[in-house]
Structure 1
């Protein structure tokens, strides 16, 4: 037993020694200059402008950069960004009228041996004329997405893996779709004349002061969904596995709520007498008004969570 242990210790020591030798070799290859091991070369600030003629869409594909899209009083799209030898942007207008912005990162051998010290994360800022009427699609892997102060958009589609998404002061003539994996998802002061679709795996979802003239759906796996001062003309569906469903001053005629192991609580605008109420929980407590006989519907269920819902008069 001791001999096997000794052999393992010798192997581990040999691997550590080999790693040290390789590190020293890499250090020597760059003239014993730590700065040379940093794969980030000097950053250059750049600007790009494009008019709205023939433009019907803006498509932004980021990686680890923060993407900020905001309304402006200009008559052109202005793009402000930073580049170096390893991080570049490709900007082109497609034949179908979409302005595409793609972020690329050049792979570097130093990134694979533990000597990548460039922790800078760039920000690309895109100012869009408020008169722009078209599609905006933005996606990122680990960067944040921020979209604000635009009142004439056609459709908005945003997604990221581990960054945060923030939508504020938007009026969209059709659909808003936002999805995230592990970052927060926040919408405030938004109006969608079509549907609103929200999906988040483990990040918090917050919706404040929204007007949805179509249907609304919001799903989560392990974090809460929090809806405040929002009116939905169509059907509303909120679903979560282990995150709470919370709502305050929610105006909706047809509402379906479901969780597995978390609580559901909130206040609906209106009179409970106008709602047919269906509620069930296998092991949680139920605190709801009696079902009415109107043409509105509240259908709520939880496997093991409590359900606590009341109604508030519409002011």
Structure 2
């Protein structure tokens, strides 16, 4: 019996010790990044555990607002090909992953883009949502969320819209008629408003979702 009590106390002590070492004690600070939209053709955001919210820019420039600290931060760069890329970086120790996540306010990325100036937009995240206000991209839009919802309102694309989800719903409205799009939809463990395969459109809508619904409607110009 004493051995069992000692074992239980040892486990509890270890748990409290790890709890004391876990978490993210480093304070977050709000940061911003601005870019001249005339010099950017494409925006790519590839992060983990971050909500991404996209809205229109009021000054025809690109703005990104985010939070970071010494353990969770981002690499933002612009390539010679006029691609603005934002990727998540981390120097967390294994004990930092024990306990609760960072506060929700600090896990949000706000992207503002001008209408009809970008040729491509690619957003990828995990365990959080992606949300887009009405926006026009002259080429391709690709949105991917593993463990969160994808929601958009009146998205307008010049070439293609690719949506990939898992353990979340995909919903929104697309500018254009139903006949304007070739549609490819694949769904597992959910319901869909789209056909699995429809050809003949000048644009492409490609949607895949696992363990979630697909609800996409078309709005004529």
* TM-score normalised per structure 2: 0.79
Inter-partner Cα distance in structure 2 for 1:53 and 1:248: 32
Q: Which runs of 5 or more structure 1 residues have no equivalent in the other structure?
A: 1-5, 28-33, 193-209, 250-315
1:43-87 per-position Cα deviation (integer Å, ceiling 9, x unaligned): 211111000233211000121110112222312101111112222
After TM superposition, give the deviation of residue 99 of structure 1 in Å: 0.1
**Residue from 132, 149, 152 that aligns with 2:117:** 132
Preserved CA contact (<8 Å) 2:171 2:215: no
Name the structure 2 match of 1:277: none
Q: Does 1:108 align with 2:75?
A: no
Contact 1:157 1:178 survives alignment (8 Å) = yes
1:69 to 54, 66, 76: 54
Deviations 1:97-142 (A, max 9, x none): 1100112233234335x4x334413111010011313100000111
Cα distance in structure 1, aligned partners of 2:6 and 2:22: 25
Distance 1:90 1:241 in 2: 30
Provide the alpha-carbon RMSD of the alignment: 3.6
How many residues align structurally?
Answer: 211
Task: Report the equivalent of 2:145.
Answer: 160
Q: From the superposition, tell whether residues 224 and 106 of structure 1 become closer, same or farther in structure 2 (CA, over 3 Å).
A: same
Distance in 1, matches of 2:96 and 2:71, equals 11
Cα 1:236–1:26 change in 2 (3 A) is closer
Question: What residue in structure 1 maps to residue 133 of structure 2?
Answer: 148
In structure 2, C-alpha distance between the alignment counterparts of 1:171 and 1:44, rounded to whole Å:
34
Preserved contact between residue 40 and residue 84 of structure 1 (Cα < 8 Å): no
Instruction: Indicate the residue corresponding to 2:11 in structure 1.
Output: 19
**Alignment partners' CA distance in 1, 2:142 and 2:60:** 23
**Higher alpha-carbon deviation: 89-98 or 15-24:** 15-24
Match of 1:191 in 2: 175
Give the TM-score normalised by structure 1: 0.57
SS of the aligned residue for 1:225 comes to coil
CA shift at 1:13, angstroms?
5.0
Partners of 1:127 and 1:107 lie apart in 2 by 29
Confirm whether residue 218 of structure 1 aligns to residue 185 of structure 2: yes
Name stretches of at least 5 consecutive residues in structure 2 with no aligned partner. Answer: none
Are 1:39 and 1:108, in contact at CA under 8 Å, matched by a contact in 2? Answer: no
> Aligned equivalents of 2:81 and 2:145: distance in 1?
25
Deviation at 1:170, TM superposition (A): 1.3
Where relative contact order (Cα < 8 A, 6+ residues apart) is larger, the structure is 2
CA 1:166–1:26: 2 relative to 1, 3 Å: closer
Q: Distance in 2 between matches of 1:242 and 1:37?
A: 32
- The DSSP-based 3-state class of the residue aligned with 2:34 is strand
The structure whose Rg is larger is 1
* Matched residue, 1:93: 78
Question: Does the 8 A contact of 1:211 with 1:232 survive in 2?
Answer: no
Measure the CA separation in 1 of the matches of 2:45 and 2:163: 14
Q: Deviations over 1:185-214 (max 9, x none)?
A: 0121x136xxxxxxxxxxxxxxxxx64513
